[in-house]
Copies of this chain bind each other. A is one copy, B any other.
Amino acid sequence: MSVVVMKFGGTSVANVERIRNVAKHVKREIDAGNKVAVVVSAMSGVTNQLVGYVREASLLHDAREYDAIVATGEQVTAGLLAIVLQSMGLKARSWQGWQIPIITDDAHGVARIKDIPGEKIRQRLEEGEVAVITGFQGVEPTRNRVSTLGRGGSDTSAVALAIAVKADLCDIYTDVDGVYTTDPRIVPKAQRLQKISYEEMLEMASLGSKVMQTRSVELAMVHKMRTRVLSSFVAPDAMPAASPDNWDKLGTIICSEDEIVEQRVVSGIAYAKDEAKVTLLQIEDKPGVAASIFGPLADANINVDMIVQNLSSDGKRTDMTFTVQGSDLPKALDVLKGAHKTIGYFDVTSSTEVAKVSVIGVGMRSHAGVAAQMFKALAEKGINILAITTSEIKISVLIDAAYAELAVRTLHSLFGLAKD
């Protein structure tokens, strides 16, 4: 017997027919003797419709009201799944965030889970009841108001709940059957990874492989929650129930590095096209100038990613290039315009025609030369590198967007990730 948290996203619960399919996945687990909590998202399209109403009501809106409105989507799915499970003869009940409670901070719209008392749910699971839990939402206890965790927050709900009920495994059902070495739409020979380390997955998630929300991976890593990504579109009876014997037979297991025996140097190639590049021309080359640029951007909640400062030819003036999320570009340009006097630049140029391509692998820690190989291969294809950032297990380059697919394919072959 295992205690399993199963999470199903919007496309997996898009309508009542799909919810019935989800129920069959749940029944398979119960029939095999597992104890199951299910975390569900809103039916796909519903959250967007609710957000549309909010925007129509007022573009400037109270985040607490926004949360009260958009959280209803998950409540509907949870209730419907509980009903379908009951109709299949299973014991089930739905739980809303405030009923458990899933306690969050007061950053409405992007709240963080602070605590989930898991004993009550765990006990229900032990009694054979399926707990169907609304993802994406919680309750802020000071004002007793509904909060939401931001887009993709249901992944975080699932991992946090798995930790709270001391689950053996957290299964993230999605519309893909695992984590791939890169996007199979770009590289048909991309392979599903049987295992990936938390650290690598974190880089994959934050770099644009939108399989799981970054925070959910962080949480799984900190608490060493074994998390698996697998497809809800496989026929429920064509899959084995979760068991310690077969956890790594299906989907992709996200686990500690030391559980991965055959470690490759590079595990995957990620890319992100929603970047924007900003260049400030002829800023003064003096201490404090970086603070005058990035301080105001940080105050406006704009995340700056890559930063490149050109060498100054005369020791007085230089150019500064950095990247922000494409959606933050208009706001970033506004902030820079407002700070023109304090920064003292000559002009600003910007472009969204850029892409970030990254090579990821924990094996890079012990293997030198990955960066050199990467830069050489890109150069041979005539791809110009606009900026570089690195971490222990990742090298990212910013390139012209037109070359993104070529770069991904080149690097995927280079590091031997393709299927035979």
Residues of A within 8 A of B (CB): 16, 19-20, 50, 53-54, 56-58, 60-62, 64-66, 68-69, 71-73, 75-76, 78-80, 82-84, 86-87, 93-94, 96, 98-99, 144-146
Distance of A199 Cα from B50 Cα, bound (Å): 42
Distance of A250 Cα from B56 Cα, bound (Å): 32
For this chain, the copies found in one complex come to: 2
Distance of A57 Cα from B78 Cα, bound (Å): 12
Please determine whether A62 and B83 come into contact, CB atoms closer than 8 angstroms: yes
Please determine whether B79 and A69 come into contact, CB atoms closer than 8 angstroms: yes
Please determine whether B19 and A87 come into contact, CB atoms closer than 8 angstroms: no
Please determine whether B68 and A79 come into contact, CB atoms closer than 8 angstroms: yes
- Known A82-B65, A93-B64; judge A57-B87 contact (CB<8 A): yes
Please determine whether B76 and A53 come into contact, CB atoms closer than 8 angstroms: yes
Please determine whether B58 and A87 come into contact, CB atoms closer than 8 angstroms: yes
* A49 to chain B: closest residue by CB: B76
Q: Could you say which of B54, B73, B93 contacts A80, with CB atoms under 8 Å apart?
A: B54
Please determine whether B53 and A65 come into contact, CB atoms closer than 8 angstroms: no
Please determine whether B84 and A68 come into contact, CB atoms closer than 8 angstroms: no
Q: 7 more A-B contacts (CB under 8 A) besides A64-B93, A65-B79, A65-B94?
A: A57-B83, A57-B87, A62-B82, A68-B78, A68-B79, A69-B80, A99-B144
Q: How far, in Å, is A357 (CB) from chain B's closest CB?
A: 41
Please determine whether B83 and A61 come into contact, CB atoms closer than 8 angstroms: yes
Please determine whether B83 and A58 come into contact, CB atoms closer than 8 angstroms: yes
Q: Could you say which of B58, B60, B68, B78 contacts A94, with CB atoms under 8 Å apart?
A: B68
List B contacts of A98 (CB < 8 A): 98
Distance of A346 Cα from B325 Cα, bound (Å): 81
Q: 8 nearest interchain CB pairs?
A: A72-B72, A69-B79, A58-B87, A16-B56, A68-B79, A65-B79, A57-B83, A61-B83
- Known A68-B96, A79-B68, A93-B64; judge A53-B144 contact (CB<8 A): no
29 contacts between A and B (CB under 8 A): A16-B53, A16-B56, A16-B57, A20-B57, A50-B76, A53-B76, A54-B80, A57-B80, A57-B84, A57-B87, A58-B84, A58-B87, A61-B86, A61-B87, A62-B83, A65-B80, A65-B86, A68-B78, A68-B79, A68-B94, A68-B96, A69-B79, A69-B80, A71-B75, A72-B72, A72-B75, A98-B98, A99-B144, A99-B145
* A73 to chain B: closest residue by CB: B72
Distance of A82 Cα from B64 Cα, bound (Å): 10
Distance of A327 Cα from B263 Cα, bound (Å): 68
Distance of A16 Cα from B145 Cα, bound (Å): 23
List B contacts of A58 (CB < 8 A): 83-84, 86-87
Please determine whether B78 and A19 come into contact, CB atoms closer than 8 angstroms: no
Distance of A93 Cα from B63 Cα, bound (Å): 11
List B contacts of A145 (CB < 8 A): 99
Q: How far, in Å, is A43 (CB) from chain B's closest CB?
A: 9
